[in-house]
Amino acid sequence: MSAFLCNPVHIGQLAAFVRRDPHARYKSAELAETFARANLASVAARYHQGVDAVAREFGESSAEAYVRACVVESEQPCRLSPVEAIKALHCLDYQACEVAGWEGSTPAWRVREVLSIACHALAGYEAAAWEISAERSPRLVRVLA
């Protein structure tokens, strides 16, 4: 498995996406910092380097400069559709998972929360049934029986 440092636009736009949800628990700048630090830590763990070395390898002067660039981008208008956000979140999840304990970590949970926001923003989500029943899908019941 390999890992790379997502560019600041990638991280920042994912963080900006949360502004679509009026009930979001995080500010976009806070989320950008969380995602950037998680990605840095993952690449550093994968390649046994320090976070500053990782940042320099990917064109930033330091880890803090990378985090700041991600935060700055998070303040820009969001240009992602829900589907683009979902795909970019899957990429970030893959790039940030190299640290021990990733699945139960705060950054991993925040990725899932933004995934939920993106899913709720998909066309047709609100109109879809919450529960699938035999009345709504008799064919499904026959297949499962």
- d(C-alpha 14, C-alpha 134), whole Å: 38
pLDDT < 70 stretches in the chain: 1, 136-145
Closest Cα to residue 105, out of 16, 13, 41?
Answer: 41
Domain-wise residue ranges, the chain: 8-144
pLDDT of residue 143: 54
Q: How many helices (H) and strands (E) does the chain have?
A: 7, 0
User: What does the pLDDT read at residue 134?
Assistant: 72
Q: What is the pLDDT of residues 28-51, one digit of tens each?
A: 999 999 999 999 999 999 999 999
